[in-house]
């Protein structure tokens, strides 16, 4: 996934995610929906003691493993569907950058939240990048930021919508619409506390200045969700 370099990823998502993640020195981290391991390697690079990446896609895990073989960082990768994954151990931190909005049903969402909870040690924290349910694709054009979203007109809970990541070639993803309150309710049922949403915030101006981000920030398509055990 050649998403490194996309304005939204580099200028907003990654700095906001790492701001929420905080210091991981000496911590164990499980990175769910790791894809080919972009964030997994970044997390390890920030001093996490051990990092495990997990993704549904055998191709992406194979790519992550071949990057690990070329430039070893001591990351372990494993291929599982989070909905049905076996227990991989207890971690201080579980991360999921674009996972929960891939849940196709409320019961898949429940299983994902339960699996995340089961992998957290006492005092552990879950940090996720999750689709913002209030995003209105009719209101602003996210193409300058590297994203195009197509919704049905009246988006209902559980409806599918399309996210195009404007790489070359574009990456077309099907995500599912869950309200912020649904994520909160489900995480609470899974045993989480202190559930909070943080909006994305730019770390630095774009070439066109800080105002470049205004249109995105007025109608963001994701936010950062954190929850404690
Ligand atoms: C948009 S990509 C994000 C990858 C990575 N987190 C990143 O930001 O570069 C979403 C990833 O979620 C994975 N995924 C979707 N549903 C999943 C599930 N049920 N279990 C595990 N991985 C899943 C996909 O295979 C894909 O790699």
Ligand 1 center from residue 3 Cα (angstroms): 13
Q: What is the sign, positive or negative, of the torsion defined by CA atoms of 204, 145, 18, 1? A: negative
Residue 83 belongs to a domain: yes
DSSP 58-124: HHHHHHHHHHHHHS----EEEE--TTTPPP---EEEEEEES-GGG--SHHHHHHHHHHHHHTEEEEE
Q: What is the domain extent for residue 12?
A: 7-133+178-228
Structure tokens that stand for 108 in this block? 């898949």
- In this structure, is residue 155 part of a structural domain? no
102 CB near ligand 1 (under 6 Å): yes
Which residue owns the Cα nearest ligand 1 atom 1? 98
Identify whether 204 is part of a domain.
Answer: yes
The answer to whether residue 68 sits within a structural domain is: yes
31: CA distance to ligand 1 center in Å? 10
Question: For residue 56, is pLDDT > 50?
Answer: yes
| Per-residue confidence (pLDDT) for residue 4, from 0 to 100 | 62
CA distance 103 to 137: 21
Give the chain's domain count: 1
> Which residue CA neighbors atom 17 of ligand 1 most closely?
56
CB distance 38 to ligand 1 below 6 Å: yes
Starting at the edge strand that comes first in sequence, how are the strands of the sheet with 76-79 ordered?
A: 76-79, 50-55, 28-32, 91-97, 120-131, 222-228, 193-198
Return the higher-pLDDT residue of 223 and 151. Answer: 223
pLDDT averaged over the chain? 94
Nearest one of 209, 206, 224 to 8, comparing CA atoms: 206
What's the residue count for the chain? 229
What are φ and ψ of residue 128, in 5° steps? -135, 150
In a domain, residue 85? The reply is: yes
Structure confidence at residue 57 as a pLDDT band (50, 70, 90): very high
Judge whether residue 1 has pLDDT over 50: no
pLDDT confidence of 3, banded at 50, 70, 90? low
13 lines ligand 1 (CB under 6 A): no
In a domain, 207, yes or no: yes
**Residue 36, pLDDT score:** 97
Q: Confirm whether 159 is domain-assigned.
A: no
Tell me the C-alpha distance between 92 and 76, whole Å.
Answer: 16
Helices 38-45 and 14-21 cross at an angle (nearest 10°) of 50
Residue 119: φ, ψ to 5°: -95, 5
Q: Is the pLDDT of residue 31 over 80?
A: yes
CA dihedral 67, 125, 56, 3 (to 10 degrees): -50
Question: What pLDDT does residue 2 have?
Answer: 53
**169 lies in a domain?**
no
Confidence of residue 168 (pLDDT cuts 50, 70, 90): confident
Q: Greater confidence, 210 or 3?
A: 210
Q: What is the pLDDT of residue 54?
A: 98
Per-residue pLDDT reduced to its tens digit, 59-101: 999 999 999 999 999 999 999 999 999 999 999 999 999 999 9
Ligand 1, atom 4, lies closest to the CA of 35
* Ligand 1 centre distance from Cα of residue 150 (Å): 19
Distance from the alpha carbon of residue 209 to the mean position of ligand 1, in angstroms: 32
CA 210 – ligand 1 centroid, Å: 30
Ligand 1 proximity of 130 Cβ (cutoff 6 Å): no
Check which CATH number belongs to the domain holding 66 and give it.
Answer: 3.40.50.150
Residue 122 Cα to ligand 1 midpoint, Å, equals 26
């Amino acid at each position: 996934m050649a998403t490194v370099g996309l304005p939204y990823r580099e200028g907003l998502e990654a700095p906001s995610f790492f701001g929420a993640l905080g210091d991981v020195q000496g911590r164990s981290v499980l990175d769910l929906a790791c894809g080919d391991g972009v964030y997994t390697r970044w997390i390890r690079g920030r001093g996490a003691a051990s990092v495990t990446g997990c993704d549904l896609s055998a191709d992406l895990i194979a790519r992550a493993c071949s990057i690990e073989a070329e430039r070893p960082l001591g990351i372990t990768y494993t291929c599982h569907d989070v909905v049905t994954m076996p227990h991989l151990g207890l971690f201080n931190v579980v991360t999921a950058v674009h996972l929960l909005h891939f849940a196709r049903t409320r019961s898949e969402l429940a299983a994902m939240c339960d699996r995340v909870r089961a992998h957290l040690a006492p005092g552990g924290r879950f940090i996720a990048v999750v689709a913002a349910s209030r995003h209105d694709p009719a209101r602003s054009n996210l193409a300058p930021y590297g994203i195009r979203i197509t919704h049905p007109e009246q988006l209902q809970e559980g409806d599918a919508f399309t996210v195009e990541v404007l790489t070359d070639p574009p990456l077309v993803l099907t995500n599912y619409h869950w309200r912020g309150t649904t994520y909160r309710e489900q995480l609470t049922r899974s045993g989480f506390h202190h559930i909070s949403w943080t909006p994305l915030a730019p770390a630095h101006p774009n070439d066109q200045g800080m105002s470049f981000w205004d249109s995105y920030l007025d109608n963001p398509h994701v936010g950062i969700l954190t929850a404690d055990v």
